[in-house]
Structure 1
C-alpha cells in the first residue's frame, strides 16, 4: 500500500479532497496553525498530489473513521539501521492497539528520505494524552540499556519528533 502526504492551505487542500471523493484521503489541520494543513492519501496506486512525501505502508491496523486527532512520530533512521528498525516495529508488543481511544496505526517507510513516520489516529486528543501517561506507553518506549542500547542507538540518524493534527472540519 502506498501512502502520500502533502501540505498547503486549508482552502486548496479542501478543494483537492472534494474533487476526488472516491479516494481514501484525510484532511488535517496543524494544532498550532489552523490555516496550514496536510492531506494524507492512502492508495494502492499513484497519488493525485504534485509534490508529495512518499511512503510505503509496512504495518497497518484500523481505518481513518472515528478519528479526530492524529499524531505523527517522525523517526530518522540510518540506512544500516532500517532492517533492524522495521523488524522491531513489525514485531512489537502492539499494546497501543488496545489503548482506549486508539483508532488506527500506520508504520510508514520513507521512499525518498531517512525519516520513518509512525502515524497513530485517536478518537480525541485526550485519548492520546492518556496513552502517553500509561504503563503500556512506558513499557513500549523503555530505552534499551547496556550493549543492546548502544547497538539500538546506532540505528537512529537523529532525534525523533512529534507532529500533531486535528481532523479538518469540512463545511
Structure 2
C-alpha cells in the first residue's frame, strides 16, 4: 500500500523525524507539502489517502523530482485502464534519469495516480517531449468513456532533511 498525506512542510518534517525507521518520502511544491509512506503494514498517518500498488519499479527514496499524474476513471473503465497499465511496454524504465514508478489504484475514490520519480526535472521534460512518451501514454487512452473528467498533473520536489 502507498499512503499519502498533505500538510505544511514544517509539520511533515516533524513526522519524518519522529519515524526515521519508516519508508517515508517528503516532497513539496509551491502550494503544499506531501508525505508518502509505502508499507505492507499500517501507516502512521491519521487520515491518509490510500492506494493499492498495482505496478512498481525502482525505489521511492531515489530521485529528486516527482510527477503525480491523476487520472479519474469510471467504475466501468477500471478493468480496461488496469489492463492497459499491466500490459505497458515499460519504456519509461529505460529513460535517462528515471528513478521509480508506481501505478496506484485508489481505495476510496475513482482517481488513479501514476507516480514517477526522476533524478532531475529536466529528465522528465525530455521524456514528455519524446516519441516514446507519446507511444507509451497515448496508446489505449482514446477510450473517452473510461474517464470521468480530464486527467491532471501535480509536480513535487524532494526536501533534504540533512543539515
TM-score by length of 2: 0.95
Match status 1:130 vs 2:129:
no
Distance 2:124 2:102 in 1: 15
**Deviations 1:67-98, CA, capped at 9 Å, x for gaps:** 00000000000011111100100111111110
Aligned residues: 162
User: CA separation of 1:133/1:124 partners in 2, compared to 1, >3 Å: closer, same or farther?
Assistant: same
The equivalent residue for 1:107 is 103
The equivalent residue for 2:74 is 78
Q: CA deviation at 1:143?
A: 5.6
Distance 2:61 2:35 in 1: 15
Superposition map of 1:91-106 within 5 A: 91-106=87-102
Match status 1:89 vs 2:80:
no
Distance 1:114 1:22 in 2: 32
TM-score by length of 1: 0.91
In the alignment, is the contact (CA less than 8 A) between 2:62 and 2:100 conserved in 1?
A: no
Gaps of 5+ in 2: none
Following TM superposition, where does structure 1 have runs of at least 4 consecutive aligned residues deviating by more than 3 angstroms? none
The equivalent residue for 2:9 is 10
Distance 1:38 1:28 in 2: 5
In the alignment, is the contact (CA less than 8 A) between 2:3 and 2:36 conserved in 1?
A: yes
In the alignment, is the contact (CA less than 8 A) between 2:26 and 2:34 conserved in 1?
A: yes
Q: CA deviation at 1:138?
A: 1.5
Distance 2:50 2:62 in 1: 25
The equivalent residue for 2:152 is 161
